Amino acid sequence: MCQHHPTCPPADAPDHEAARLVAYHPEQGWGLLCNGVVSFDDTGELLPDGQAVPAGTVQGAA
C-alpha cells in the first residue's frame, strides 16, 4: 500500500507512470514504481498483473 502523500496513482490509472520510484537499477535498465509497475529505460513496462507493454506503446490510445 502506498504511503506517499499525495498517494501514487494505481497501476491501472492512465497516469500510472507518475508513481514514485522505489527501486532503480540503471545498470540493468529498469526501475520499480510504488504501484508495482516495472519501468524499463526503453519505455517498455511490466504491469503487476504480468501484462507487458512494449516500448513506445501508449496505453489507452485508440
User: Do the beta carbons of residue 31 and residue 24 sit within 8 Å?
Assistant: yes
Strands 30-33 and 21-25: antiparallel
Contacts of 49 (CB under 8 A, 6+ apart): 11
Over residues 26-46, the pLDDT tens digits come to: 999 999 999 999 999 999 999
pLDDT reported for residue 58? 58
Q: Above 80 in pLDDT, residue 61?
A: no
Q: What pTM, to 2 d.p., does this model score?
A: 0.83
pLDDT reported for residue 8? 95
Higher pLDDT, 56 or 36: 36
Number of domains present in the structure of the chain: 1
Average pLDDT over the chain, rounded to whole?
A: 90
What are phi and psi for residue 16, nearest 5 degrees? -60, -25
Domain that holds residue 43: 1-62
